[in-house]
Amino acid sequence: MATREIQRNEWPAFLDTFSKEHQGLIATITVISPDIGAQEAVQGIPLAGITTDRKGSEKDSITILLGAEPVDRAEHFVTEATHLWVNAGGESAGDVIEIGARDGSQTILQLHASAELPA
């Protein structure tokens, strides 16, 4: 797998394309913070999409939208995002996005097919 950083000016287009290619894959979100260590925030919910806000009060935030049906919708916000990396394995399932934030935290989104769960 090759990890590459996505430049800030490419975030909107990259996240739009990534969302379309990975929609419906099962998401696991882990947050690693200097204050609390590693915490699993989400497991087993399908990815609906990922967006970024480049202006306004939520400038530089990234929102991970989850859930296939309105009754199971959830959102995970990363405020003051500073870096965005993708680790693509060549197939959609297994791709990983890592988002760095100004507070030193890292949000890791791992995607997998419904039959497989991360180890």
Indicate the pTM of the whole model.
0.85
| More confident site: 31 or 73 | 31
> Scanning the structure block, which residue is given the tokens 């039959």?
115
How far is residue 60's CA from residue 26's CA, in Å, rounded to a whole number? 25
pLDDT at 92 over 80: no
Give residue-wise pLDDT tens across range 32-53.
998 888 888 888 899 999 999 8
CATH number (3.20.20, 1.10.10, 2.60.40, 2.70.180) of 2-112 reads 2.70.180
Average pLDDT score, the chain: 87
Q: Where are the domains of the chain?
A: 2-112
Q: pLDDT of 43-83, one tens digit each?
A: 889 999 999 987 766 778 999 999 977 777 889 999 999 99
102, 82 Cβ separation under 8 angstroms:
yes
